[in-house]
A and B are shown apart, each in its own frame.
Chain A
């Protein structure tokens, strides 16, 4: 009885799910697994690891380059200015943007205090990618922090293109910040400022 009732639903479900899955390319389980593995690796290998700061930063840099699609994000962040920039400026911006991100995250390693990341769900982003929803929970209790990861398929592997913390998208915030700098002093001016920041933060 129940089975007979459910059968048409099943067919309907497979029919609707199939094209969506083909479009999204990243399966929800794969996406969740990917984020959990980033969290595990980040906590066990970097944050809670008993190694010198330089080693932590090096490990983080490797993980960042592997799991984050800096090219896509860098392009999104420069938005309309991307086309206006010369290939050299674009290239330099991508490198500085990556180094800058590695260093500002590295700067916050000490704030780690036993928090853990719980992956809570996924949503398609209607844009060939997927959102993974997660919460950072502190062992002492208190309000958890909501973090959404935006993923894209890159050659069969998911890569992160944006991180949204309590509704604040990293990529959108950089875009807005850089737009105001580029409008005043061009992409070369922005690169110069970033180079200065990277130096201040301890990069070459």
Chain B
């Protein structure tokens, strides 16, 4: 099991390295997007699906189900993901977080009634999501080209690879496959997607409506948010690392507040 994981990781590593050697990402300023026309087309497809199917489903979930039920669903899905979080904690050599994740999974699977309650969160073991995309980043793999895929949304070569690896390594998926429980294999990502979309509900829709180029907004926001998640475990902070100084403009910034 462990050696399989290692083989896959190495293969992926090699694959992504070649994929991302083209352009280094610059402090979240410019995201490498060599296949932008394709991505924009995929964004259109995604947006149509979102408005026609995903958003209505998420709206129903959010507005019809009682808040408490949404909490059960969210906690349950999060708990299902903890073994993968744990594995990635270990692969990143982060003992502290591995312990936190171990405690979360143990406490929530038992006292938390099979994960329906986030008992551990209340006991101080807060959810700290990790995935193989982040692990690759910690190992030094760059983002690779940006990708926008229908149903998945904004991602990049590294994170997409990470998703595939995570889903192969996930013990619950193994169990489901062994028992021909196809419903679980399809139902889980669908439920997770609807839950996530419902949680993004007011923000995503406001931004979509007000943005002058929503694709560019998502591309930039995704890269920055991922960079922060990755930095988080490395340095323990989330400070942005770009310079506010304006190139091309004189540094004399007005000392007076702007007039109305």
Contacts and interface: CB of A to CB of B under 8 A. Distances in A.
B216 A71 contact: no
Given A108-B202, A168-B224, A181 B212 contact: yes
A167 B253 CA distance: 26
Contacts of A71: 253-254, 258
Interface in B175-231: 202, 206, 209-213, 215-217, 219-221, 224-229, 231
Given A127-B244, A148-B239, A169 B216 contact: no
Interface in A97-130: 98, 100, 104, 107-108, 111, 123, 125, 127, 129
Nearest to A194: B212
A155 B228 contact: no
B248 A162 contact: no
Interface string A128-150: 01010000000001010010101
B63 interface: no
Taking each of A79, A123, A168, A178, which has the highest tally of chain B beta carbons within 10 Å of its own beta carbon?
A: A168
B239 A76 contact: no
B246 A143 contact: no
B210 A197 contact: yes
A94 interface: yes
A132 to B, nearest CB: 11
Contacts of B257: 65-66, 69, 154, 159
Interface string B122-133: 100011000000
A171 B28 CA distance: 12
Nearest to A104: B210
A104 B206 contact: yes
A148 B244 contact: no
Contact of A169 (B122, B209, B242): B242
Nearest to B215: A180
B116 interface: no
B35 interface: no
B225 A83 contact: no
A164 B202 CA distance: 18
B256 interface: yes
B244 A161 contact: yes
B140 interface: no
Contact of A65 (B229, B243, B258): B258
B238 interface: yes
Nearest to A108: B206
Contacts of A173: 217, 220-221, 224
A80 to B, nearest CB: 6
A78 B225 CA distance: 21
Interface in B231-260: 231, 237-240, 242-249, 253-258, 260
Interface of A: 65-66, 69-72, 75-76, 79-80, 82-83, 94, 98, 100, 104, 107-108, 111, 123, 125, 127, 129, 131, 141, 143, 146, 148, 150, 152, 154-155, 159, 161-162, 164, 166-169, 171-173, 175-181, 190, 193-194, 197, 200-201
8 contacts: A76-B244, A150-B240, A154-B253, A155-B256, A166-B225, A176-B217, A177-B212, A177-B213
Given A80-B247, A83-B249, 7 more contacts: A108-B206, A168-B224, A168-B225, A176-B30, A176-B217, A177-B216, A197-B212
